[in-house]
């Protein structure tokens, strides 16, 4: 399965604890996904084999709002 890169705007991501929660949630979809977070811009970029919808749903299940950037 090929990897894709998706970027999400996460307006309620405020701190490193938020980043850790989001990372754990995304890893439930794809354990090998690479996640980078830009706190000032409130953006999360995910590179992995899951779909954009699956990654967004995981972020939302963790208690955050995720919209494609």
pLDDT, mean over the chain: 96
**Mean pLDDT (whole number) for 32-61:** 97
Which residues constitute the domain of residue 64? 4-68
**Mean pLDDT (whole number) for 38-43:** 98
The CATH code of the domain that includes 58 is 3.30.70.100
How many separate domains does the chain show?
1
**How many angstroms separate the CA atoms of 61 and 2, rounded?**
25
What per-residue string of b and e applies to 34-56 under the rule 16 or more CB within 10 Å gives b? ebebeeeebbbebebebeeebbb
Helices (H), 1-69: 16-29, 52-61
pLDDT of residue 12: 97
Task: Determine how β-strand 4-9 pairs with β-strand 34-38.
Answer: unpaired
């Amino acid at each position: 399965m090929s990897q894709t890169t998706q970027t999400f705007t996460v307006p309620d991501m405020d701190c490193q604890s938020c980043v850790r929660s989001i990372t754990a949630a995304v890893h439930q979809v794809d354990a090998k996904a690479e996640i980078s977070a830009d706190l000032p811009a409130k953006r999360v970029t995910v590179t992995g084999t899951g779909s954009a919808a699956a990654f967004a749903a995981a972020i939302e299940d963790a208690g955050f709002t995720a919209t494609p950037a």
